[in-house]
Amino acid sequence: MANTLGEILTDSGLIWKAGVPLRTLCHWKIGGPADYVIEPRSAEEAAAAQRIAGEANVPFLVIGHGSNMLFDDAGYRGVIIKLGRKMSRCRFSGSRVRAEAGIWAPMLARACAGRGLAGLEHIVGIPGNLGGLVYMNGGSLRQSIGDAVVCVEVLDERGNVAAVSAAECNFSYRHSVFQEKKSVVLGVELELRQSTPGDVRRKMLEILKERREKFPLNLPNCGSVFSNEPPLYETYGPPGMVIEQTGLKGARVGDAEISARHANFIVNRGRASSAEVFALVRHVRRKVLERTGFLLRCEVCYAAPDGRCGRLDAFL
C-alpha cells in the first residue's frame, strides 16, 4: 500500500521509504536518493528485506549510523537496510553483554559503565552503531571492538541466521571477515571486565575530553579518511601528521576541505559532493606519494550507485 510520503507499507508492517536522500543517513551529509530505505525491527524483517531485494534482483546494502560512509551524488539503485534504533536492545549477564547491531556505540559503552563493566571505554566517542563497528573492527587508543567479541550473530548470504565465533571473525587492524562476506551483523556478544562505575566513567570522560580537543566535531565529517597502515606509521607517523607535513591542511576542492584541526579529516563546508571528496582524496594521495613513496589507503567506505561497496580507494 503506497501513501503520499512515498512510503510502502508491507503486510508485515515494515515500511519501505522511497527516494530517501542519503545525505540524511550519513555523517558527511553527502549523497543522492536511495531507491528504498527500510529500518527492520527484527532479524526476521532484515531477512525479509534481504529476500525481497534478492527476488527483485536489486542490490542491498546494510548500514548503521553512516559515520564511515561516503554515498554518491547519484544515490543508490537498490535497497538500503539501516540497522539502527529499532534493533538496539541489550541484555547483561555477569560480565557479558549481548547487544543488537543497531545500538549506538556510545550508548552501549555508557550502559556498561553504569554496571561497572570495563573494556568498551575506547568506543565511547565513536559515533557509529555496533554492527558497523564490528564490520570495521573499529576502536581507538590501540584497541578494537574485536578484542571483546565472543561471537557475532549474522544473517548469512542465504538468509540463514548463524553464529560466528571471534576466531572466525578474523579480526585484524580495522578488518573483519564481514568485509569479504555479504552477511548482515544482527547482534554481538561481548566479554567485559568487572571494575567500578566510577573508574569506568572517569576513563570515558578523559577519552571524550581528548577527542573534543583533537577532532573537528563542528562540521560534517566521517572521522579518519585514511587508515593508519603500520609501514607508513613506522616510517613517517600517522596519516594525519603525514598529510599535515605535506602542507595539505586547509586544501580544498569545492566544499570538501582537509580540516585545519586534524589533517586526516575531510570536512564538508556546506554542499560538498562525492565528486569533490574523490578529487580531494586523489590529490592527497598523489602529494603524499610524491613526498614519501607511500600510497595512502582509505578507512572510509564508499557505496556506488550500482550497489558495489568497499573502501573508497578501491574506486579511485
Ligand X SMILES: Cc1cc2nc3c(=O)[nH]c(=O)nc-3n(C[C@H](O)[C@H](O)[C@H](O)COP(=O)(O)OP(=O)(O)OC[C@H]3O[C@@H](n4cnc5c(N)ncnc54)[C@H](O)[C@@H]3O)c2cc1C
Closest distance between ligand X and the C-beta of residue 86, in Å? 12
**CA-CA distances (angstroms) from residue 243 to 24, 49, 121?**
29, 42, 28
Quote the CA–CA distance of 64 and 100 in Å, as a whole number.
Answer: 11
Instruction: Establish if 240 lies at the interface with ligand X (CB under 6 A).
Output: no
**Beta-strand relationship, 161-165 and 256-258:** unpaired
Which region, judged by CB under 6 A, interacts with ligand X, from 64-72, 112-120, 158-166, 243-251?
A: 64-72
Quote the CA–CA distance of 42 and 62 in Å, as a whole number.
Answer: 14
Instruction: Establish if 16 lies at the interface with ligand X (CB under 6 A).
Output: no
State which H helix or E strand residue 35 sits in: strand 33-38
Closest distance between ligand X and the C-beta of residue 66, in Å? 4
Instruction: Establish if 304 lies at the interface with ligand X (CB under 6 A).
Output: no
Closest distance between ligand X and the C-beta of residue 217, in Å? 6
Strand, helix or coil for residue 34:
strand
Instruction: Establish if 263 lies at the interface with ligand X (CB under 6 A).
Output: no
Give the three cell numbers for residue 7: 512510503
Give the residue carrying C-alpha cell 555477569: 94
The one among 30, 34, 62, 248 contacting ligand X by CB under 6 A: 62
Strand, helix or coil for residue 235:
helix
The one among 64, 78, 146, 187 contacting ligand X by CB under 6 A: 64
Which one is catalytic: 45, 121, 153, 174? 174
Which region, judged by CB under 6 A, interacts with ligand X, from 52-60, 123-131, 234-242, 278-286?
A: 123-131
In this complex, which beta carbon is closest to ligand X, that of residue 33 or of residue 132?
Answer: 132
Residue 224 designated active-site: yes
Tell which positions 185-214 bind ligand X, by CB under 6 A.
185
Closest distance between ligand X and the C-beta of residue 308, in Å? 11
Give the residue carrying C-alpha cell 560538498: 272
Residue 157 designated active-site: no
Question: Could you write out the DSSP letters of every residue in 156-217?
Answer: -TTS-EEEEEHHHHT-BTTB-GGGTS-PEEEEEEEE-EE--HHHHHHHHHHHHHHHHHHS-T
The one among 301, 304, 305, 313 contacting ligand X by CB under 6 A: 301
Instruction: Establish if 132 lies at the interface with ligand X (CB under 6 A).
Output: yes
Instruction: Establish if 221 lies at the interface with ligand X (CB under 6 A).
Output: yes
Cβ neighbours of residue 62 under 8 Å, at least 6 residues apart? Answer: 46, 81, 82, 83, 131, 184, 185
Cβ neighbours of residue 147 under 8 Å, at least 6 residues apart? Answer: 119, 139, 171
Instruction: Establish if 68 lies at the interface with ligand X (CB under 6 A).
Output: yes
Instruction: Establish if 138 lies at the interface with ligand X (CB under 6 A).
Output: yes
Instruction: Establish if 22 lies at the interface with ligand X (CB under 6 A).
Output: no
Residue pair 292/236 in contact (Cβ under 8 Å)? The answer is: yes
Which one is catalytic: 224, 227, 259, 273? 224
Quote the CA–CA distance of 164 and 43 in Å, as a whole number.
Answer: 16
Closest distance between ligand X and the C-beta of residue 192, in Å? 18
Number of residues forming the site for ligand X (CB under 6 A): 34
Residue 183 designated active-site: no
Q: Residues interacting with ligand X, by CB under 6 A?
A: 27, 61-69, 83, 101, 126-129, 131-133, 135-136, 138-140, 178, 184-185, 215, 217, 221-223, 301, 309
Q: Which residues are catalytic?
A: 174, 224, 299
